[in-house]
Amino acid sequence: MTLILGASAFYRKANGKPIIPRLPKDALYSERAASGRWANNCLMVALTKDAIGVIPFFPFTLGFLPEVYRLEREILLKHVRRVTVRTSAWGLNVAIDYGPAERTLKLKLRDPDAFANALVGLGVKVIRS
């Protein structure tokens, strides 16, 4: 186990990825305990004027978890096609459709309305359902 954790820490450092990530100070919206597919309350989500960033917080950055489960994303706002916000207390309540391959990232945020309002302020199309 120690070998795997050490190898993943080395891999992250070698690829310029943080082992102990921090939320950006210039974030328009940020959350530390978001959930997503394969991840329950261990993701940090940050919206800046240019991108939506999603990364697990330490210690979930180790063990190659972000790489295996694709938990780490940086989605440039210019690639976001639409964001759908659902009023749901239980399930994933935000869906971000992005990129030329039309991928979708689904998240559960504690304050999806604040996230949506910040996106609207940046000119991103938000659908509320």
Q: For the chain, 129 residues long, give each residue's pLDDT as a single digit of tens.
A: 899 999 999 999 999 999 999 999 999 999 999 999 888 999 999 999 999 999 999 999 999 989 998 889 999 999 999 999 987 667 779 999 999 888 999 999 999 999 999 999 999 999 988
Please enumerate in sequence order all residues whose Cβ is within 8 A of that of 126, keeping only pairs 6 or more positions apart, or say none: 82, 83, 84, 85, 116, 119, 120
Name the one residue in this structure whose structure tokens are 């000119």. Answer: 123
pLDDT at position 24: 93
Instruction: Provide the terminal-to-terminal Cα distance of the chain, rounded to the nearest Å.
Output: 44
Q: Look at residue 8 in the predicted model and tell me its pLDDT.
A: 93
CB 109 within 8 A of CB 52: no
C-alpha neighbours within 13 Å on the C-beta side of residue 109: 25
- For the record, the structure tokens of 109 come out as 């945020």
How far apart, in whole angstroms, are the C-alpha atoms of residue 19 and residue 77?
A: 25
